[in-house]
A and B are shown apart, each in its own frame.
Chain A
Amino acid sequence: MKNDPKKLLRYTPSERANHWLTAILFFLAALSGLSFFQPLYYPLTLLFAGGVWTRILHPFFGVAMIISFAVEFFNYRQLNAMTPADWEWLSHVREMVNSDDRNMPEAGKFNGGQKLLFWLMAVFMALLILSGIVIWRAYFSFLFPIGFIRFAYVVHAASAAVMIGLIVFHIYAAIWMKESIGAMLYGRVRRAWAKQHHPAWYREMTGGGK
């Protein structure tokens, strides 16, 4: 049963909706942006009714994505504060990658890797929106000197590439760690899953038992 009350509530309905809205907007922004990044990806403009529409729409996808991400950012900011335990977790990341989590330090609601990813995403999202404004010819570019616009293009392309890399990692991690996609789809996780992957959070949710 997806909503068995014995299961632990990991993400509320509004958190889930917000997450998937950000995900959809990220895909729209990334696919439309990639089409300008390299001729190889130019056919992606067909998804958005051609090159001109892709050029018009891309910045709006970006702005919507940033707003949606900002809501997530302020929701999860405190939960993602890095603690010494998280750095300890990260120093064991090699074992984790080898699918051996027996000696991993106990993770809370989010583990060290998830937290680091969160902050990296926040940094690159900020770089994307700031450089994106500078190169948004229709409304803002006339405010900036040409040298700065050229620099902003490099920043935008580089941070977009890093951002896509982070999301590839994020998606793969969710596929690799079974049942975590279910958590973001349905909200609740099995107690066994919680105890396995987020023991500190499990104790917090169950009042310290077992």
Chain B
Amino acid sequence: MALQSLDITRRSATSTRPPDQRQTKEVVKLIDVSKCIGCKACQAACMEWNDTRDVIGTNHGVLDNPMDLTENSWTVMRYSEVETDRGLEWLIRKDGCMHCGDPGCLKACPAPGAIVQYSNGIVDFHEENCIGCDYCLTGCPFNIPRLSKKDSKVYKCTLCSDRVAVGLEPACVKTCPTGSIVFGTKEDMLRHAEERIADLKSRGYDKAGIYNPQGVGGTHVMYVLQHADKPEMYHGLPKDPSISAMVSLWKDGAKPLASLALGLGILGAAFHYVTKGPNEVSEENEKEFKDEK
């Protein structure tokens, strides 16, 4: 869902150039994991702004609630208790769409205009064009989109594209009480991240770094991690995510090859007919069974 229509960089299942006369600056939501206190205000703000309400769940003995992303919970806090060289650490990561530079969901989507990427980098689902096929679930390297049981459409974080379009920051950023989530141009956010990393390093986090995986063309949601060398510790954040080779084979390989092969096959058959002619019963057999006709 979105308001922009003139600054679309990529559009699913579309081979011609989408309307992109308007050019906007690339934006990034930077999540500094070291500043997060796990209050879940961002989860609440997300539901509040987007008017989604998840079902009341049950207590699983951990703080995670709900236990996973859903069609109503587009962001969830992931709590990991891990042993590091600093002792027991509680790593809290706000999970949700990473808004990839090269989005696997968009690559996989067969419905024209159901997934778009704006020039500001936000990857957005247009549910009115969604056919509920699940291909985006297959394409996503981060396991983010969720198929709604109610309407069979997929939902995920929009990076509040509606708010960003009118110059506001995303709801989660607005509400974050510790300044763990910040939002701005990519340039500014990278600079801010560097400052944060320098600060963390000065406090003994030697491996502090930014999470902006290049395998998916960089992301428009980035993390500052205390232990950037081991992103897996943060509830299985993939170390070097990329669009699965299977998805590329299916979408880049099979599509043009099969169409070409089938087209040539049909053409070949037509030319065979006009060059070799039909295969008919021979004269001699016809004579033998003159009585038949």
Co-assembled chains A and B: yes
Complex interface bits, B267-293 against A, C-beta within 8 A gives 1, otherwise 0: 001001100111111100110110111
Asked if B15 and A39 make an inter-chain contact with CB atoms under 8 angstroms apart, the answer reads: yes
Question: With A150-B138, A169-B265 known to touch, is A99 a contact of B247 (CB < 8 Å)?
Answer: no
Contacts A192-B292, A195-B289 known; list 6 others, CB within 8 Å. A51-B129, A146-B143, A151-B246, A154-B246, A168-B262, A190-B281
- Chain A residues contacting B255 (CB-CB under 8 Å) are 37-38
Asked if A51 and B111 make an inter-chain contact with CB atoms under 8 angstroms apart, the answer reads: yes
Asked if B289 and A161 make an inter-chain contact with CB atoms under 8 angstroms apart, the answer reads: no
- Chain B residues contacting A38 (CB-CB under 8 Å) are 255, 259
**In the assembled complex, A176 has its CB within 8 A of some CB on chain B:** yes
* Most chain A Cβ neighbours within 10 Å, of B112, B134, B288: B134
Measured in the bound complex, the distance between the Cα atoms of B139 and A149 in whole Å is 10
Question: With A161-B262, A168-B262, A210-B288 known to touch, is A175 a contact of B273 (CB < 8 Å)?
Answer: yes
Range class of the B interface residue count? 35 or more
Measured in the bound complex, the distance between the Cα atoms of B257 and A37 in whole Å is 12
Show 17 residue pairs from A and B whose CB-CB distance is below 8 angstroms, ordered by the A residue. A6-B292, A36-B135, A37-B258, A42-B13, A42-B112, A55-B133, A137-B132, A137-B137, A146-B137, A146-B138, A153-B135, A154-B250, A158-B254, A165-B261, A169-B269, A176-B272, A192-B292
Asked if A164 and B262 make an inter-chain contact with CB atoms under 8 angstroms apart, the answer reads: yes
Asked if B276 and A51 make an inter-chain contact with CB atoms under 8 angstroms apart, the answer reads: no
Range class of the A interface residue count? 35 or more
- Chain B residues contacting A36 (CB-CB under 8 Å) are 110, 133, 135
Measured in the bound complex, the distance between the Cα atoms of B282 and A50 in whole Å is 49
Q: Is the interface of A mostly helix, strand, loop or mixed?
A: helix
Question: With A38-B255, A177-B278, A191-B289 known to touch, is A154 a contact of B266 (CB < 8 Å)?
Answer: no
Top 5 nearest A-B pairs (CB, nearest first) are A161-B258, A51-B131, A150-B246, A39-B13, A172-B269
Asked if A97 and B112 make an inter-chain contact with CB atoms under 8 angstroms apart, the answer reads: no
- Report the nearest B residue to A102, measured CB to CB: B282
Asked if B250 and A196 make an inter-chain contact with CB atoms under 8 angstroms apart, the answer reads: no
Asked if A42 and B110 make an inter-chain contact with CB atoms under 8 angstroms apart, the answer reads: yes
Asked if A154 and B254 make an inter-chain contact with CB atoms under 8 angstroms apart, the answer reads: yes
Chain A nearest Cβ from B149, distance in angstroms = 10
- Chain A residues contacting B129 (CB-CB under 8 Å) are 51
Instruction: Say which residue of A52, A154, A175 sits within 8 Å of B249 (CB atoms).
Output: A154
- Report the nearest A residue to B15, measured CB to CB: A39
